[in-house]
Structure 1
Amino acid sequence: MTTPHTPESSERDIVLSAEKLQVGVVRVPRERVRISKRITTEVRTLEVPVRVEQLVVRHEPLDGSDATGASGEAPEELVLVLHEEVPEVSLRVRPTEQVRVRVRQVTGRQVVSDVLRHEEVDLTVDELPQESRTAQP
């Protein structure tokens, strides 16, 4: 801003301005994270030993003294129950681990730069022609 030129004052003022860089931080959403469980399957093959009962018949020759049923009676019936082992599969669900999720803040640094403008004074002196220098009172 300049002051008007008066005969009493030969001084004039000019105000210079400059830009200052002010930096702050603003908290903005970065990303949304969804956490969910999913079930995956896998085939497990195990070999399990099993036993099976089999009927074994042994034939032995008779010598006349051990003859049973020789009197003409019907032979007795013998009933046997044979057993076998079969694998039995059962599934149990048990907790295996607990997963804890939390958010932590990590502090870092980021470089910020900008172009700042400021005003400077330029002084230009123009020489007046000889006639106008002498014409001033």
Structure 2
Amino acid sequence: MKKLIPAILISLFFQNFSYSQSPVVESIINQTNLDSLIFFVEELSGEVQTIIGGTPYTIVSRNKYQPSNDKAADYIEQKLEYYGLDVYNQSFSSSGRNVYGVLTGTEYPNQIWMICAHYDDMPSGSVAPGADD
């Protein structure tokens, strides 16, 4: 108990710093639509059908070795292009693929902000709705 009280006090002290955001970041967060984010996750996890390359498709698994994992990468690429980013693919190993988008800033073109995520999965079975490895 004696060790718990200082830990709680330190956590409360640093909690104030975790909420300080720049006005730019806060503006971006305020423009984010939660329903759209949920729908993207539902499409990417195969809960709902999506359109990839003009064709209806359900991403049934994101297992690294399943064909639907490539479709998940295609989906991500398509979304990044829709939002105006230049999209690049980086292959690694025999079946690995990273997808990333670049959007050059208008006010600070030399600064880089990186947002990344892990989309493939390595489960014990063939069905893999999301990253867990």
Normalised to the residue count of structure 1, the TM-score between the two structures is 0.13
Normalised to the residue count of structure 2, the TM-score between the two structures is 0.13
Larger radius of gyration: 1
